[in-house]
A and B are shown apart, each in its own frame.
Chain A
Amino acid sequence: MYPDKILLQAEKPGRYVGNEINMVRKNPTEVATRFAFAFPDVYEVGMSHNGLQILYALFNRRDDVYCERTFAPWSDMEMLMREHNLPLKSLETYSPLADFDFVGFTLQYEMTYTNILNMIDLANIPIKAKDRGEEHPIICGGGPCAVNPEPLAEFFDFFFIGEAEEAFDGVFDIYAKHKADKGDKMTFLSKIAVLPGVYVPAFYDVRYNADGSIDNFAPNNLGAPERVKKVHVKDMDRAFYPEKPLVPLIETVHDRAVIEIFRGCVRGCRFCQAGYIYRPHRQKSVDTLFEQAQKLLESSGHEEISLLSLASNDYPHLNELVDLLCERFTSENVSISLPSLRIDATNSEVLRKVQSVRKSSLTFAPEGGSQRMRDIVNKNISEDEILQGARVAFEGGWDRLKLYFMVGLPAEKDSDLAAIGKLSEDLVSVYYKLPKEQRRRPVSVTVSTSCFVPKPFTPFQWFGQETVENFMSKQRHVKQSIKSRQISYKYHDAETSVMEGALSRGDRRVAAVIERAWRLGARFDGWSEHFSADIWRNAFEESGVSLDFYAHRTRPYDEILPWDFIDMAGVNKDYLIKESQKVEDML
């Protein structure tokens, strides 16, 4: 543990002490491989992430591997660590990260990239792969942002593209043998480069055209495949799932048991990266889910179980599952939450059951205010369905609604923005059409707009993102379209979204910007109180990288994109071009 004196000066010292329920204890000297699972955000966020629970248990189920955890220290703790020369350590055995065989980062969000560099540096490990020697841990990464790993290529030894449950064992098997044989790092990397899902950036060279676009991307190593194939779980019922989740001792963002009802999505919303990269759609059976729910609740003591997926409505046995869970657990004071439930007339029954235990605000995500916009993004929901859904919710006793929209979508017009206000006002009117006795208090509607960020492996991956100025004028337009006092308007910071846009579609040259931003003091860029647009603008300028080139430029279909080398099983470029052209035809 860090000394008391340090911990007592930190805000929430419970972040740094571990010792949680179901924490895995092994003797680090008795395993072949020590793996530090590194979450580049603060403890409370990382511990609420279901992927951490899965990978922690998955890796630790092997006797020859000990997976420990580490999180980004909050800024106050970073200052203390630097002042007292204390390295970043794991929570399980309080070992410095430099002692591990692997440090594996989860890449959930582009705006955590500076935290990654900071954590490597706080561990006294050189941030660039080429500066690290045999004595340093192998640094790897995976998760949704790994579908375009290029901006991070310089810092990592390898990436894993896809779902670890399916194939990560191969990496551990090869490593155990490699370590016993005392092989060197490059030999190990060339051995794993042939495994499905593994991408070793050092084994690929990129050549650029005079205009800055990519001329050629090719392996420089005989074993490395031309294209890296994403791996995914084939059978969700058989896929590994934790039975004894870590239960934190301090309050986190989500303190609840989680069952994952399905992975992937049957819809094809064109803006939604998750909808494409988690294909194909695969679901678990009610039996599996019920059994997993039972085990998780028993071993955690949580009083809430959450049904995780991209859209709960699309689970065909939702009613049956909710019935079973209610029947079994309501008497034990366990509530059920459906964080991604779309409200419509067909599921008022489910709504009523979920509500019987706890009532909070309800969330709708129409994404676009006008039908035209919803058609462009392929969000298959009509205005009637939205209004109907709201009526069902209001009748069920909800009077707090949150609405999510995007601004800056392709081909957006002022009339589409005004439609956001109009739709929100119509929802308020639906409430006031209820008989008076059904209205307990004035309705409250919160409208949130995010700034559209085009992402790799979506039909909008070529689209030039709006500028900060345009986003801000769009936000003003939405604000002006809202008249009702029952509606409050919130919007995401445009500067952050543009930086996210540049990072998400960046290539290897963007690494210089990330490093520069980190050296200028960027940390926790996803947190509005930490994000500094000035730092990032300076970072682009000082590293001679054009923000416009990566964020705002519309790319031609025939340009080689930095992530083209990834074979996104079933989502090929021709298909995405066709989808993109469908939108062009609509205009």
Chain B
Amino acid sequence: MSLKQSYFRYRISFTKLGSTRFIGHLDLQSLFQRAIKRAKLPVAYSEGFNPHQLLSFAAPLPLGMGGFEEMLEIFLIYEVNVKEIVTLLQDQLPDGIDIVGVVEVPAIGRSAAAIIQKATYRITFSHNFDIRLEKIISDILTSESIKVEKKGKKGMSVVDIRPDIFEIVVDEDNSLRAILACGSERNLKANILAHHILGLSEIAQNDCDITYERLSIGQDVPKL
């Protein structure tokens, strides 16, 4: 820990789109480690027998879900201009992963992963709703509690997801944006909300494909 004080911490936001949506979280970490290495950024390593790069990711994205503003933090052993970080790193990233922002933050302090509390999702249904989506959403937002069945380690249980819904905005007949709890303390998976909405509609669950995208995860990093 002591060494970290002398390092420089950067928070980087990036997209995870196209084919990179199918790269799992651990693989994404290795992908960035190698990219950072190729970019010759002066990345800091942990001490110990198997040193590894000091980098951390916030809130893993489910496999297949597109991300427009994902986040990671890296520690460098000397200060590098944020624009230079973008240039060096972007060249080394595969199609689908684009850096959208970089900001330097104090080396000491909680990690992005620990700070994150909410995320914005776009949920798109393949079917238009027979009754208006807006009606369903306003019902959800005005109710005090929403009980859904959740599969947990100890079998099915009923949980209240209402406290984990901060905001829902209907964009089109079949598409909405939702700000949901995201992080280590509270977390609501977008598909739980989507299936609940579908349950309140007259569309058969099996008929409707649902696409999820994560538009951002809380901590704003200034855009490039």
Cross-interface CB contact of B19 among A8, A17, A299, A303, cutoff 8 Å: A17
- Contact digits for B9-53, partner A, Cβ 8 Å, 1 yes 0 no: 000000000111011101100110111111000000100001100
CB distance from A529 to the nearest CB of B (A): 22
Stretch at the interface among B91-99, B128-136, B146-154: B91-99
Q: Are the C-beta atoms of B34 and A301 separated by less than 8 Å?
A: yes
Q: Are the C-beta atoms of A250 and B24 separated by less than 8 Å?
A: yes
Q: How far is the CA of A180 from the CA of B22 in the complex (A)?
A: 40
Inside 8 A of B18's CB, which chain A residues have their CB? 19
Inside 8 A of B45's CB, which chain A residues have their CB? 333
Q: How far is the CA of A247 from the CA of B36 in the complex (A)?
A: 14
Inside 8 A of B30's CB, which chain A residues have their CB? 251, 255
Q: Are the C-beta atoms of A14 and B24 separated by less than 8 Å?
A: yes
Q: Are the C-beta atoms of A250 and B23 separated by less than 8 Å?
A: yes
Inside 8 A of B24's CB, which chain A residues have their CB? 14, 250
Cross-interface CB contact of A13 among B37, B64, B92, B96, cutoff 8 Å: B64
Q: Are the C-beta atoms of B34 and A300 separated by less than 8 Å?
A: yes
Q: Are the C-beta atoms of B37 and A301 separated by less than 8 Å?
A: yes
In chain B, what residue has the closest Cβ to A251? B27
Q: Is the interface of A mostly helix, strand, loop or mixed?
A: loop
Q: Are the C-beta atoms of B22 and A21 separated by less than 8 Å?
A: no
A121 at the interface (CB under 8 A from B): no
Q: How large is the interface on A (under 10, 10 to 19, 20 to 34, 35 or more residues)?
A: 20 to 34
Inside 8 A of A298's CB, which chain B residues have their CB? 38
Q: How many A-B residue pairs have CB under 8 A?
A: 63
B63 at the interface (CB under 8 A from A): yes
- Contact digits for B80-116, partner A, Cβ 8 Å, 1 yes 0 no: 0000000000001011100000000000000000000
A411 at the interface (CB under 8 A from B): no
In chain B, what residue has the closest Cβ to A18? B19
In chain B, what residue has the closest Cβ to A23? B94
B209 at the interface (CB under 8 A from A): yes
- CB contacts under 8 Å to B, within A221-264, are 247, 249-251, 255
Cross-interface CB contact of A17 among B22, B31, B33, cutoff 8 Å: B22
Q: Are the C-beta atoms of A333 and B51 separated by less than 8 Å?
A: yes
A21 with B209: in contact, given A4-B64, A251-B26 (CB under 8 Å)?
no
A5 at the interface (CB under 8 A from B): yes
Inside 8 A of B64's CB, which chain A residues have their CB? 4, 7-8, 13
In chain B, what residue has the closest Cβ to A15? B22
Cross-interface CB contact of A19 among B20, B26, B35, B38, cutoff 8 Å: B20
Q: Are the C-beta atoms of A303 and B37 separated by less than 8 Å?
A: yes
Q: How far is the CA of A262 from the CA of B30 in the complex (A)?
A: 30
A14 with B35: in contact, given A19-B94, A21-B94, A333-B51 (CB under 8 Å)?
no
Q: Are the C-beta atoms of B34 and A247 separated by less than 8 Å?
A: yes
Q: How far is the CA of A16 from the CA of B63 in the complex (A)?
A: 14
A287 at the interface (CB under 8 A from B): no
Inside 8 A of B95's CB, which chain A residues have their CB? 19
Q: Are the C-beta atoms of A250 and B50 separated by less than 8 Å?
A: no
Q: Are the C-beta atoms of A8 and B37 separated by less than 8 Å?
A: no
- CB contacts under 8 Å to B, within A7-56, are 7-8, 13-14, 16-21
A422 at the interface (CB under 8 A from B): no
Q: How far is the CA of A14 from the CA of B22 in the complex (A)?
A: 5
Q: How far is the CA of A13 from the CA of B24 in the complex (A)?
A: 9
Cross-interface CB contact of B22 among A13, A247, A255, A303, cutoff 8 Å: A13
Inside 8 A of B211's CB, which chain A residues have their CB? 4
A5 with B22: in contact, given A298-B38, A301-B33 (CB under 8 Å)?
no
| 8 closest cross-chain pairs (CB), A and B | A301-B34, A17-B19, A301-B37, A13-B22, A301-B38, A19-B19, A250-B27, A8-B64
7 contacts between A and B (CB under 8 A): A4-B64, A19-B94, A19-B95, A21-B34, A249-B23, A301-B33, A301-B38
- In the complex, given contacts A19-B20, A301-B35, A301-B92, what are 12 additional A-B residue pairs having Cβ atoms less than 8 angstroms apart? A7-B22, A8-B63, A13-B22, A14-B22, A18-B19, A19-B19, A21-B38, A247-B34, A250-B23, A251-B26, A302-B34, A302-B37
